[in-house]
Amino acid sequence: MNANQFFKALEQLKGWRECAFLLALAERGFPNYVLFSDAVGSKGGAKMRQILDQAWGLLQRANSEAAIPPLLLKLEDLTPDVSAYDMYGVHPAYDFCRLLEQALLNRLNPTKHRATEASQWATGTVMSFIEVSEGEDLDEDALVRLFDQHELMKIDKAFQRDMVLSVKRQRTPTELFIEGLRERAANDGVSNIGISLNE
């Protein structure tokens, strides 16, 4: 699947398939939130896990709209204010929150397409991490080369394509399918920027 095919497939995602893709992106970014939350001494990680779990659970419920607004309010309370922290970790944590918000909003308003922008946000999290950690003194050309060759970028691209293909091929969101998708997205607790919850 080349880049054009990927973006076309993304644009075609609708309903539960789009929501599942958005949740997979959020799941992959979840360790970034937990790490930030722990670093600032907040107890947000466990509460956020509950919201994410509930969001996954809603995929198999046809009429789940009433459950969404309370989850969005809880998410808003737990979303960090980027300007309030002078540390890099707030950015990937905030990016995770945006992805989860899009997944929840998808259930309220499934006609608005969100997957393309969310895909770019998720990749942007990886790019900014690479730039901060390895690209400080590089000019623009060298930075582009770094992105092209970086293992985290390759992993992100492969993961997103795998998720799109999986949801495209699946006829209904069966429990077994969602479990498998979720497990692959969770990646044994390793996030899209290589942060592990198990270390």
pLDDT per position as a tens digit, 111-120: 999 999 999 9
d(C-alpha 75, C-alpha 47), whole Å: 9
User: Over the chain, what is the mean pLDDT?
Assistant: 94
d(C-alpha 125, C-alpha 106), whole Å: 21
For residue range 152-170, list pLDDT tens digits in order. Answer: 999 999 999 999 999 999 9
* Domain residue extents for the chain: 12-187
For residue range 5-33, list pLDDT tens digits in order. Answer: 999 999 999 999 999 999 999 999 999 99
- Calculate mean pLDDT across residues 123-137: 94
- Calculate mean pLDDT across residues 101-109: 95
- Calculate mean pLDDT across residues 184-193: 97
Q: What is the assigned CATH class of domain 12-187?
A: mainly alpha
- Helix (H), strand (E) counts: the chain: 9, 0
CA distances in angstroms from 45 to 36, 48, 165, listed in the order given: 9, 5, 30
